[in-house]
Amino acid sequence: MEKQRYLRRDEDADSRIDWGIIFSVLVLAVIGMTSLYVALKHDSTVTSVTRTMVTQALWYIIGIGAVIFIMQFDAEQLWKVAPLAYGLGILLLILVLFFYSRTYFINNGAKSWFAIGPLSFQPSEVMKPAYILMLGRVVSQHNAEYLEHTPRTDWLLLGKMFAWTLPIAVLLKLQNDFGTMLVFFAILGGVILVSGITWKIIVPVVSAATVLGGTAIFLVIYDRSLLEKIGFQAYQFKRIDSWLDPSSSTSGSSYQLWQSMKAIGSGQLLGKGFNVSNVYVPVRQSDMIFSVIGENFGFIGCCLLIFIYLLLIFQMIQVTFDTKNEFYAYISTGVIMMILFHVFENVGMNIGLLPLTGIPLPFISQGGSALIGNMIGIGFVMSMRYHNKSYMFSSGTDFR
């Protein structure tokens, strides 16, 4: 009887693990490792392909460990951890302004990386899941205190969300990392949409943001002096110029984008085959990894990759509906928006639909910081099904 009890307990634990999400992430990891191998194999600047591949594999192992660790936290524990994680993330964003990698700053103009010997770390990547946790707690707590949505309470909630976002935006501006800042705004936008705020407030806010973005693009084209006064850098103007007219400087500022488009286009329908690279693309192993997939596996391969991302997102949405937990719903929304924006921006910039930014392709691009941040997000979602507790904050239940 004792043996049967343990077997039932093990079976119950297995049934609470979302194997579909695990499968999707593992497929992306395999695609990432094979694409990284091709990128490194055809890059003359890489001194050791084997060492880089082993390092990336170790990051995947650490990421898997992070998922297993995060899964042990239920909603109540995540609620308590949220302020600590947010505070630690803010501290790291402050410290990197003083102890940033000088080499990375010279090459990219951003004070956003720590460097310890051959290892580097970008604190903003682990700040993303910490911010998602804190945002979920803020919205859940507000909705527990104000059971009825009114214009006054909705504006108050919006103010709280912006107040927790402002320190991050300021620190990322000081780091000169506009691309990462956009990810946080995407997370904020997604949580706002599901927070219960009335559309009478959301529509004007979105309209104002759209007008602001359109005005910025207009000023880039016709009068850059105002943007220069508020802190826009020359390299940011060059990226927008290359986006608006990629053929204007194919050997200069548009070179990376132009080469990426050539590589993807040369793959045509089915690609050139594995480990074939006839078009050189700078930074191919990280930000431009999608060009490797396009050249090797063509349009069909790119579509399959996007399908896997959509499958992963669908599975995360399904878990959210199954658990019926408001706090978890805001967390999963933040994770989904984080991954979705990364995919949208990375693929868009590789094919010329969006300006170039330092946004990696989730679970595929080389690098440990972004991979760990995404894996922590997956751990949050896996925790939802693993514990499957329905603490309904809207009914007034609180973890304080």
Q: What is the mean pLDDT of residues 316-340?
A: 91
CA distance 329 to 166: 23
What are the start-end ranges of the E strands in 52-128? 114-116, 119-121
The pLDDT value given to residue 7: 43
Local structure of 131: helix, strand or coil: helix
pLDDT tier for residue 97 given thresholds of 50, 70 and 90: very high
Q: For residue 271, what are the CA distances in angstroms to 264, 274, 290, 299, 341? A: 9, 8, 13, 7, 26
| Neighbouring residues of 69: CB distance < 8 A, sequence distance ≥ 6 | 379
Give the pLDDT confidence of 119-128 residue by residue, as tens digits.
Answer: 788 999 999 9
Residue 397: pLDDT over 60: no
Residue of 124, 118, 201, 126 lying closest to 162 (CA atoms) = 201
pLDDT of residue 311: 96
Instruction: Kindly give, in sequence order, each residue whose CB lies less than 8 Å from that of residue 36, ignoring residues fewer than 6 positions away.
Output: 52, 53, 56, 285, 289, 364, 366
Percentage of residues of the chain with pLDDT beyond 90: 56
With beta carbons less than 8 A apart as the criterion, state whether 24 and 311 touch.
Answer: yes
Query: Is the pLDDT confidence value at 118 over 80?
Result: no
The DSSP result for 151-175, as a single string, is HHHHHHHHHHHHHHHHHHHHHHHHH
Residue 9 has pLDDT above 60, yes or no: no
CB within 8 Å of 304: residues ≥ 6 apart: 297
Q: Considering only residues 31 and 108, tell me which one the structure prediction assigns the higher pLDDT.
A: 31
